């Protein structure tokens, strides 16, 4: 991409470009929608160090290190990731930033891909950060650059607060030049960088002073713009994408558009309030700007006309303005609900998680789930997860439920499932915690689903990806790691060996104590695994649907020519050749392509597993790198 070139970028690409043009040198992140593409895009700039860390807290700390060392640094994450990073965040904002520091947070109004909806402007204010909120891709570039400049000028970490709609929509931008920023020197200054009393007391005051200076900057900053319209009674205060949604209504209103949403300039708002009879704030989620203005003693309205949840589309804004009496007629109609076919999310063909959940369902185990693509186990047909709260929470919840059951005289073996990425992210402290207060009545089985990737966010590496990806070759052996903590009972299984895995899960969940099962199969989608495909012989199939219940997308019941009853079939273009369906078929109707059922071989599940192992070995010989 050359300078001054016009192009169309997503908001996420705009943030990445802004980081590059600002002279950013270090970026760290943990993958999460809607912001995952920011770091993926930054990785394309060779001048920059960029890493997906094991959690948002670690990413934030890596970026703190970059700033301490004097370079422009950014940590990017989805909104809930900031909760994980909140501990270092709340202390770091007390220090005077050395190299410019930006925390990028991606909000998800409407929760398209998140477990909750939270407004991180509140966290930014809580942490005493300046906050800018871009509304399109050009602003994503410009505001990121401005945030780095402000961070260095005012020695404050800045928050760039972006919403999922802006992250993913594409708008035109003009590319600028990269500014080479001379790294600042890190000088020993314990009063500035060591967050212990008595240093923290004066730093609290200096942090507030720095925010007050930023209020002065906000007074006539180009980030905040005032447009005088024909309506001289009402002033609309808004920011980000909502400004563009409002402009679509072509209402000729007076608008104060905030690029910097925190802090606001009290002086500026006092002046504006003198000119207008009413101030109406339009903002998504929480009434953050509205509350700030009210705290200045200035009357304003907002949330009573607009929803506190979800996105505010142009139609919602128009409806709110009509409720407020700013307009009398509407030109748009309410958004018609999108008439889409309801589809339950599915595990992919050949997904190594499916046999695990099929087994857990058949064994009727209570399963405490976690965040990752395996969260889909809560849906039909598995319905095998009883709880999903937040990243890594399964471990503590499982322990808490076990202890509560013991206190109330109940006894129930609990199974906890956690992905490899989630385990490294925030499951490990829970694993250590299990060793406190362990007693012989505990019966907890932790299944680590090691598919060598964070599949849900597009296949970024995990600490265990190791030789599966050359891009990031850290290789932590999960079994060794868990044993090193002090857990003795750790078993590895190949979950494509269905019967053996079922036997291990049955044994481990039945015996008392804490056990770990590591299910080791790489993600079929990420590593494009397609071994020999399987087919159904309809003349042998008895239509029992055992294979269908494994929930693999290529399998369906269909009508064959000259056969009355519905029989199973497999779409070969989708089959990844994992053999699980063949292993659950009671009559050997499912066979590897190119082979014909040999019904003389009784006990054929074993036979098929042997065939499958042979096939796998052949494949590994032919292609050692499963990418």
Please state the closest distance from residue 217 (CB atom) to ligand SF4, in A.
Answer: 58
Choices 1-9, 61-69, 284-292, 548-556; region in contact with ligand SF4 by CB under 6 A: 548-556
Task: Go through 18-57 and write b for each residue having 16 or more CB atoms within 10 A of its CB, e for each that does not.
Answer: bbbbbbbbbbbbbbbbbbbbbbbbbbebeebbbbbbbbbb
555 lines the binding site for ligand SF4 (CB under 6 A): yes
Give CA–CA dist 87/65, Å, rounded: 15
Q: Work out how close the CB of 569 gets to ligand SF4 at its nearest, in angstroms, rounded to a whole number.
A: 9
| Alpha-carbon span 588 to 579, nearest angstrom | 12
Structure tokens at 305: 């006309």
As a whole number of angstroms, the distance between CA 100 and CA 403 comes to 47
**Nearest alpha-carbon partner for 318 in 383, 246, 373:** 246
118-126, 261-269, 299-307, 540-548 -> range binding ligand SF4 (CB under 6 A): 540-548
Q: Does 495 interact with ligand SF4 (rule: CB under 6 A)?
A: no
Of 212, 232, 211, 215, nearest in space to 223 by CA: 215
Determine the Cα–Cα distance for residues 85 and 58; give it in Å rounded to an integer. 8
Q: Which stretch binds ligand SF4 (CB under 6 A): 153-161, 192-200, 212-220, 573-581?
A: 573-581
- Strands 158-163 and 130-132, bridge-based pairing: parallel
**Beta sheet of 234-239, edge-to-edge order:** 225-227, 254-258, 234-239, 278-282
Nearer to ligand SF4, 278 or 361 (CB): 361
**Residue carrying the six token digits 């009434």:** 287
Ligand-binding site membership of 585 (annotated)? yes
Using the contact rule CB under 6 A, the part of the chain among 53-61, 448-456, 466-474, 537-545 near ligand SF4 is: 537-545
Smallest distance, ligand SF4 to C-beta of residue 468, A: 19
Chosen residue from 66, 350, 372, 522 binding ligand SF4 by CB under 6 A:
350
Q: Report if residue 551 touches ligand SF4, rule: CB under 6 A.
A: no
Q: In the block, which residue shows the tokens 């180009």?
A: 222
Q: Does 38 bind ligand SF4 (CB under 6 A)?
A: no
Which residues lie below 8 Å from residue 161, measured CB to CB, with a gap of 6+? Answer: 105, 107, 120, 121, 124, 131, 132, 133, 261
Residue 255 touching ligand SF4 (CB under 6 A): no
For ligand SF4, the closer of residues 476 and 544 by Cβ is 544
The single residue among 104, 570, 591, 609 that binds ligand SF4, judged by CB under 6 A, is 570
Q: Which of 404, 435, 485, 542 binds ligand SF4 (CB under 6 A)?
A: 542
Which residues, including other chains, have CB under 8 Å from residue 245's CB and lie 6 or more apart? Answer: 312, 313, 314, 317
Q: In the range 136-195, which residues lie near ligand SF4 by CB under 6 A?
A: none
Check whether 552 is labelled as a binding-site residue.
Answer: yes
CB 531 → ligand SF4: shortest distance, Å?
A: 8
CA atoms of 387 and 489, how far apart (whole Å): 25
Binding segment for ligand SF4 (CB under 6 A), chosen from 79-87, 332-340, 383-391, 574-582, is 574-582
Find the shortest distance in angstroms from Cβ 404 to ligand SF4. Answer: 38
Does the footprint of ligand SF4 cover residue 65 (CB under 6 A)? no
Residue 347 CB, shortest distance to ligand SF4, in Å, is: 10
The DSSP secondary structure of 539-580, one letter per residue, reads TT-----TTGGG--TTEEEEPPTT--S-EEEE-TTT-----H
Q: Does 578 show up as a binding residue in the annotation?
A: yes
- Which of 316, 588 has the CB closer to ligand SF4? 588
Q: Which residue numbers belong to the known binding site for [4Fe-4S] cluster?
A: 541, 544, 547, 552, 575, 578, 581, 585
Q: Which residue numbers belong to the known binding site?
A: 541, 544, 547, 552, 575, 578, 581, 585
Residues near ligand SF4, by CB under 6 A: 349-350, 534, 536, 541-547, 550, 552, 554-555, 568, 570, 575-581, 585, 587, 589-590
């Amino acid at each position: 991409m050359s300078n001054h070139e016009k192009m169309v970028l997503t908001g996420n690409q705009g943030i990445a470009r802004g980081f590059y043009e600002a002279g950013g040198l270090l970026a760290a992140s943990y993958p999460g929608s809607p912001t995952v593409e920011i770091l993926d895009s930054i990785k394309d700039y060779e001048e920059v160090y960029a890493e997906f860390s094991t959690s948002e807290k670690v990413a934030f700390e890596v970026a703190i290190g970059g700033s301490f060392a004097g370079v422009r640094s950014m940590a990017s994450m989805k909104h809930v990731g900031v909760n994980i990073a909140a501990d270092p965040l709340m202390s770091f904002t007390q220090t005077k930033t050395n190299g410019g520091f930006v925390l990028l947070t991606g909000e998800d109004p409407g929760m398209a891909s998140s477990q909750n909806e939270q407004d991180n402007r509140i966290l930014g204010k809580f942490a005493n950060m300046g906050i800018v909120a871009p509304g399109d891709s050009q602003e994503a570039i410009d505001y990121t650059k401005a945030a780095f400049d402000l961070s260095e000028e005012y020695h404050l970490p800045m928050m760039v607060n972006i919403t999922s709609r802006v992250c993913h929509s594409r708008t035109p931008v003009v590319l600028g030049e990269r500014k080479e920023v001379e790294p600042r020197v890190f000088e020993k200054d314990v009063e500035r960088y060591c967050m212990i009393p008595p240093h923290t007391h004066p730093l609290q005051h200096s942090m507030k002073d720095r925010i007050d200076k930023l209020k002065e900057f906000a007074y006539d900053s180009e980030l905040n713009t005032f447009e005088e319209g024909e309506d001289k009674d009402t002033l609309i205060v808004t920011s980000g994408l909502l400004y563009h949604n409002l402009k679509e209504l072509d209402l000729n209103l007076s608008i104060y558009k905030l690029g910097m949403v925190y802090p606001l300039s009290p002086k500026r708002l006092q002046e504006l309030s003198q000119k207008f009879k009413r101030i109406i704030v339009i903002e998504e989620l929480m009434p953050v700007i509205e509350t700030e203005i009210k705290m200045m003693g200035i009357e304003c309205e907002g949330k009573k006309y607009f929803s506190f949840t979800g996105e505010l589309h142009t139609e919602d804004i128009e409806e709110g303005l009509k409720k407020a009496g700013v307009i009398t007629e509407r030109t748009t109609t309410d958004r018609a609900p999108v008439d889409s076919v309801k589809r339950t999310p599915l595990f992919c063909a050949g997904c190594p998680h499916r046999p695990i959940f099929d087994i857990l369902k058949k064994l009727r185990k209570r399963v405490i789930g976690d965040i990752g693509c395996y969260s889909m186990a809560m849906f039909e047909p598995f319905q095998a997860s009883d709880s999903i709260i937040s990243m890594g929470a399964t471990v503590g919840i499982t322990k808490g439920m076990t202890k509560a059951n013991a206190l109330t005289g109940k006894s129930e073996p609990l199974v906890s499932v956690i992905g490899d990425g989630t385990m490294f992210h925030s499951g490990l402290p829970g694993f250590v915690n299990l060793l406190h207060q362990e007693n012989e009545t505990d019966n907890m089985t932790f299944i680590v689903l090691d598919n060598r990737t964070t599949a849900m966010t597009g296949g970024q590496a995990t600490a265990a990806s190791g030789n599966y990806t050359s891009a990031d070759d850290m290789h932590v052996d999960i079994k060794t790691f868990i044993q090193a903590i002090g857990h003795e009972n750790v078993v590895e299984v190949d979950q494509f060996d269905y019967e053996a895995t079922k036997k291990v899960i049955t044994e481990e969940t039945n015996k008392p104590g804490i056990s770990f099962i590591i299910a080791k199969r790489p993600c079929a989608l990420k590593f494009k695994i397609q071994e020999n495909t399987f087919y159904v012989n309809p003349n042998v199939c008895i239509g029992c649907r055992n294979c269908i219940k494994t929930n693999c997308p290529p399998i369906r019941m269909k009508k064959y020519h000259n056969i009355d009853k519905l029989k199973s079939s497999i779409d070969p273009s989708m089959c990844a050749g994992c053999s699980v369906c063949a292993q659950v078929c009671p009559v050997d109707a499912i066979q590897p392509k190119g082979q014909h059922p040999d019904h003389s071989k009784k006990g054929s599940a074993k036979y098929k597993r042997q065939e499958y192992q042979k096939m796998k070995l052949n494949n590994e010989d032919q292609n050692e790198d499963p990418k």
